[in-house]
Amino acid sequence: MPVQHRGRSEILAYAVVDMEPPPVIPLRKSDPRQAGPYRLEAVLGSGGMGRVYLGRDTTGGAGLAAVKVIRPEYAEDPLFRKRFERVVGALDRVKGAHIVRLLGSGCDEDLVWVATEYIPGPTLSDVVTERGPIDAAAAWRLLADVGPAIEAIWRAGLVHRDLKPSNVILGADGARVIDFGVVQAGDGTSLTATGQNVGTPAYMSPEQTRGLEVTAASDVFSLASTLTYAVAGQAPFGEGTGVDVLHRVAFESLREEVLDKVADVDAELAALIRTCLDKDPERRPLPETVFRTAIGHQLSAPTGGPSPAARKRPSPRAPFQGERSEALPAAAPSVPPAESPAPGATAAPAASRKRRRLTAGAATAAVLVAAGGTVTLLQQGDSRTPAAPRPETSPAVSGNPTPTPGISKSAPPSTPPTTDRAVGKPSSPADTRNPTTLDLRSAVCAAEIASGAHGDRVKALQLLLAGRGLHVTVDGQFGEATVTALKAFQAEAGIAVNGKAGAETKKLLYGMARGRCRSVR
C-alpha cells in the first residue's frame, strides 16, 4: 500500500495484546482470480451483495486492495449495472481521513467489482467479541473518528445505510468506515431495488425499518447503536435478524438496562447516545454536532484520567455534566505530566477488573499485522504519559488545550454546531495492567536502527511498518524482511533507499519534527 502522509494521527505508544488471528479463507475453485488490474489472493469476507477479496495491483499502483466482486445474480442485471455506475460515481466524491478510499471499479463482461484501499486491522465487532467492551476514552475517540466519516458521507449527498460494528475497521491511524454496498445517493439511487429493506436490523434506524426516506439522521442513529454495542457489548434494541428486532427498533423504546451499562462507564456519553437514538430523525443531532462534541470532550479531558472516585455516575438531572466532573480541573493542563501516571491510572475499579475494557489506543489505533499468518492486535500503552504533543486548537473549544494522544487530525467543517449541551470533560482511568507496553518514541528514536539489531526498538519499528500495510513479521529481529519493508517505505517516501532507520526515515515514519525523540529508558 502506498505510504500516506496526510490525515494520519501521531502514533505514540502501543502494547502487544494477545488476540486470535481471523481464519484464513483460501480461494475456491469457483472464485475469480482477477478483477481488473487486481490479482485476487484470498477471501476477506462475504455478504448479501458479494464477496470481498484481498487483491494485489499487478500494475504497480495501489498495492493491496479490498476488492468486492458482486454476485452474479446482481451483476447480470442491466438495471443493476446502471445503478452500480451511478453509485460508484457518487462514492468517488466522498473524501475523508476516516473513510476507505475508492481505488477503482469495473463492469466487465463477466465481473462487476469495486476496489477500496485495504486497511490492515480488525473490525470493531472482532475487537469487542474477543477483548470485551471498550472504555470511555476509547469510545469518545471512536466517536471522534467515525463522526467525521458520517459527516463526509452526508456532505457528498450520500447515506451509508449499513453502519454497524463489522463495518468499522480499526487501523493504525484510527477508525475507518468501510463497505458502501448499500449506500444511497441523494437522488435515491442505490444498488438495491426499490422497496427492498436493506441494512442490519439491530443497527437500522426506525425510518429505515419502515421503508421511509433516509437521511444523514439515519446514519447518526446507526452510529449511536454501534457505539452502544462497543461500550455495553449489546445493541440498544437487542440483537437478532428477525421481524421482532425490526419492530423494537421502529416502535419500542430502547432497552434501558443496556444504556445503563453505558452510563456506568460514562454518563455524558450515554446522554449523547440517547439523543442520537430518538425515534424522530428531526430531533437527532447533526453528524457535525456529534463529532465536534467528541473532539471537544477529548480536548478538554485531563490526560491522566480521573480518580476512581470521579467515575461515579452523574445525576440524571445533568446528562452532560455530573458529579465526577467536580473532582477534575475544568480543562486539560497546557503540558501533560512528565512520566508519572495519574493516581487514578494505577488502580482500576472493581468493575473493570471483572471485565477487561480496551483502552483508547486499542480501540482506535489497533493494527492487524497479517504477515506469514501472524495476526497481532496492538494496544496503546497507558503506563506512562508520553512527551507533550504539539498543541492544537478546535473551533468548538476555546483557548489552546492540549489534545490527548492519538486524536484525529482531520479538520472538521468550518461552521460550528449550535447546541446547548455542555461537553463532558472526564474520561475513565487508563488500564495499566499490561506489562508489555512499548513506548515507540523512547524505544526507537535514540539511534539509527539497521540490519542485525534486535529487541524492543526493532519491534516498535516493525509495528509502524506493518501499520502502513507493509509485509513484515513483528518479531524484534531486524532481518531481511524488515530491510525489504523499510526500503519499500523509503522508496514510496522519496528518500534515500538504504534499508536503515536513520533520522530522515524516522522523521517521516513517525510524523515527528526533528529533535522530538527521547532517549531510551
User: Residues comprising the binding site for ATP?
Assistant: 68
CB 71 within 8 A of CB 92: no
Q: Amino acid identity of 11?
A: I
State the catalytic residues: 162
Q: What burial letters (b/e) apply to 336-350, b meaning 16+ CB within 10 Å?
A: beeeebbebbeebee
Distance CA 508, CA 486 (A): 12
Distances (CA, A) of 521 to 189, 361, 382, 442: 57, 21, 16, 7
d(C-alpha 46, C-alpha 236), whole Å: 26
Q: Any bridge partners for residue 14, and if so which?
A: 438
Angle subtended by helix axes 136-155 and 267-276, to nearest 10: 30
Residue 248 is given by DSSP the state H
Write out the E strands in 247-387: 377-379
| 3-class secondary-structure state, position 123 | strand
CA torsion 216-397-391-99 (nearest 10°) is: 0
Q: What is the DSSP letter of 455?
A: S
Torsion angle in degrees (nearest 10) through CA of 337, 339, 345, 347: -140
Euclidean distance between CA atoms 381 and 362, whole angstroms: 9
Residue with cell 491511524: 173
C-alpha cell at 206: 426506525
* C-alpha cell belonging to residue 296: 471537544
Helices (H), 156-204: none
